[in-house]
């Protein structure tokens, strides 16, 4: 994971900031919570409730086929002031998928997102963070923003909520961090319920990526 993160930082240093984003810039005590792989019928509503309780905003990188199954959840995300991002249509292994199919998946999901939020453009995050050079250049050519992350919560490792909270405690967030999380499991939900009150008490907040000028 460290090697992947280093490669992302190198690429973000070589490309204009508006094309490949790994961290936001802000003078406030704020981060950007981002949630991948939803919407999920059980956990996304509970994540939204936790965010609303503490006045936090986030960005949800949704999978196209899940949008088709649960469009009402995507509408709820937008209605409650959060941002939608493109996380492909099938969440397939992009290392072994032809470029034309990658682009087709992105466009298919973008069309669904536009029907929901009315926006023409959506930032894209590749499945598993796999960004083949050919896809990178194709998206750069058409001016579509790619948003990765600067802080990995590791909530997908299935080690329980306590391990997620411990990671945040031992590795404190910095201003402008783009935090990778997932709204498809109970561990993330429990961790949010634990650490969001502490964040709020210390004067920290989470904003959608659009609040940082990313979208």
Closest by Cα among 2, 46, 84 to 183: 46
Interstrand relation of 58-62 and 30-36 (parallel, antiparallel or unpaired): parallel
Sign of CA dihedral 162, 164, 166, 168: negative
Which residues are known to be catalytic? 36, 182
Phi, psi at 155, each rounded to 5°: -70, -10
Q: What are phi and psi of 81, to 5 degrees?
A: 90, 15
Contact status, residue 86 vs residue 113, Cβ threshold 8 Å: yes
Residue 55: φ, ψ to 5°:
70, 30
Backbone angles phi, psi at 91, to 5 degrees: 55, 50
Report the chain's C-alpha Rg in angstroms.
Answer: 16
Give me the residues paired with residue 19 across strands. none
| Residue 39: cis peptide before it, omega within 30 degrees of 0 | yes
The encoded tokens of residue 191 equal 């961790």
């Amino acid at each position: 994971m460290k090697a992947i993160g280093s490669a992302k930082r190198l690429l973000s240093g070589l490309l204009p900031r508006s094309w490949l984003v790994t961290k936001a810039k802000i003078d406030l005590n704020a981060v950007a919570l981002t949630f991948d792989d939803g919407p999920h019928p059980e956990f996304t509503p509970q994540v939204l409730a936790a965010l609303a309780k503490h006045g936090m905003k986030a960005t949800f990188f949704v999978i196209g086929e899940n949008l088709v199954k649960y469009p009402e959840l995507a509408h709820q995300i937008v209605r409650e002031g959060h941002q939608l991002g493109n996380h492909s249509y099938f969440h397939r292994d992009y290392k072994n998928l032809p470029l034309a199919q990658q682009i087709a998946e992105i466009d298919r999901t973008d069309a669904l997102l536009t029907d929901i939020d009315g926006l023409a453009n959506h930032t894209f995050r590749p499945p598993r963070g796999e960004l083949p050079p050919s896809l990178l250049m194709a998206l750069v050519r058409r001016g579509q923003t790619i948003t990765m992350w600067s802080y990995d919560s590791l909530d997908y490792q299935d080690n329980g909520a306590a391990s997620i909270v411990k990671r945040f405690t031992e590795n404190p967030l910095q201003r402008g961090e783009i935090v990778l999380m997932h709204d498809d499991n109970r561990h993330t939900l429990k961790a949010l319920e634990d650490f969001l009150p502490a964040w709020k008490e210390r004067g920290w907040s989470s904003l959608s990526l659009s609040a940082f000028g990313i979208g």
